[in-house]
């Protein structure tokens, strides 16, 4: 087996995904994993999904996929409201894209790397089987009560998560990767004009400790700002 490349939130940035795969020399035997949020805000949601499918990528469900799927699957009169950007994605996607999005799991385990991939994070107090789907796709912080919260609070959930396994996640876009003892956040805001970041591990390699974590993270710059923050 080759390397494992876990890539951050794409939001329709197909060109930057191509740039990153070229930068790491992605080739036969390597495998591609995504933390989700493939669509909305960026220029090419359909092309992004097609490129992931071409490389047989494994992808977890992000909050943007979840909202679009709930809209598409809802009984008449009960669908969530969509904004203009989301409606553009609905018009752009074809059956193969919807089938792909509908197949996405909430987490992916990679035991050979002692790694679990989720979109947003976890409640550190609960095992994975007891996590709510909402938490896995939306959490950012832990409130003073100890409950997971979707807003950006003073206590990031990764600061309290003690593992194992090591968690790789996206969702909470920051200028630099989030480095915690047992968790790594790799959403560095590509769609906002930041960078597209990935964790690249050799066969059987585990994420290194925080002081060495950047050695397994690579990134490429966004070609432009697609969605101002």
Banded model confidence at residue 149, pLDDT cuts 50, 70, 90: very high
Retrieve residue 124's tokens: 């550190």
* Degrees, nearest 5: CA angle 212-159-188: 65
Minimal CA–CA distance to 81: which of 67, 93, 99, 91? 67
140 part of a folded domain: yes
179 part of a folded domain: yes
Cβ-in-10-Å burial (0-12, 13-18, 19+) of 156 comes to buried
91: left (phi over 0), alpha (psi -120 to 50) or beta: alpha
Strand order in the sheet with 107-110: 107-110, 115-118, 166-169, 183-185, 178-180
Question: ω before 18 within 30° of 0 (cis)?
Answer: no
**pLDDT score of 188:** 99
200 part of a folded domain: yes
Cβ neighbours for 127, distance < 8 A, ≥ 6 positions apart: none
pLDDT tens column, 177-198: 999 999 999 999 999 999 999 9
DSSP 217: E
> Alpha-carbon distance 91 to 119, whole Å?
24
DSSP 97: H
The total number of structural domains that make up the chain: 1
Answer yes or no: is pLDDT of 226 > 80.
yes
Banded model confidence at residue 152, pLDDT cuts 50, 70, 90: confident
52 part of a folded domain: yes
Answer yes or no: is pLDDT of 204 > 90.
yes
**pLDDT score of 119:** 99
226 part of a folded domain: no
Banded model confidence at residue 18, pLDDT cuts 50, 70, 90: very high
**pLDDT score of 77:** 78
Q: Residue 166: beta bridge partners?
A: 115
Mean pLDDT value of segment 102-119: 99
Q: What is the CATH number of the domain that holds 162?
A: 3.60.21.10
227 part of a folded domain: no
- Domain extent for 159: 4-221
The pLDDT > 70 percentage for the chain reads: 100
228 part of a folded domain: no
156 part of a folded domain: yes
Retrieve residue 147's tokens: 């409950």
pLDDT tens column, 28-80: 999 999 999 999 999 999 999 999 999 999 999 999 999 999 999 888 777 77
**pLDDT score of 1:** 78
């Amino acid at each position: 087996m080759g390397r494992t490349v876990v890539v951050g939130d794409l939001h329709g940035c197909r060109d930057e995904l191509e740039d990153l795969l070229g930068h790491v020399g992605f080739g036969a035997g390597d495998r591609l994993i995504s933390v989700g949020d493939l669509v909305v805000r960026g220029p090419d949601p359909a092309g992004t999904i097609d490129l992931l499918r071409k490389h047989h990528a494994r992808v977890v469900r992000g909050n943007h996929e979840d909202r679009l799927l709930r809209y598409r699957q809802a009984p008449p009169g009960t669908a969530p409201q969509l904004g203009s950007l989301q409606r553009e994605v609905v018009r752009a996607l074809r059956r193969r894209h919807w089938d792909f999005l509908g197949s996405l799991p909430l987490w992916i385990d990679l035991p050979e790397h002692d790694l679990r991939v989720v979109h947003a994070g976890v409640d550190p107090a609960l095992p994975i089987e007891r996590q709510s789907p909402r938490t896995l796709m939306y959490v950012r912080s832990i409130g003073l009560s100890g409950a997971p919260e979707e807003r950006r609070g003073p206590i990031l959930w990764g600061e309290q998560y003690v593992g194992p396994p090591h968690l790789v996640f996206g969702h909470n876009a920051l200028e630099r990767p989030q480095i915690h003892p047992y968790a790594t956040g790799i959403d560095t805001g590509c769609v906002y004009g930041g960078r597209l970041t990935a964790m690249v591990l050799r066969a059987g390699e585990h994420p290194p400790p925080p002081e060495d974590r950047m050695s397994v993270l690579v990134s490429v710059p966004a070609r432009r700002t697609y969605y101002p923050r």
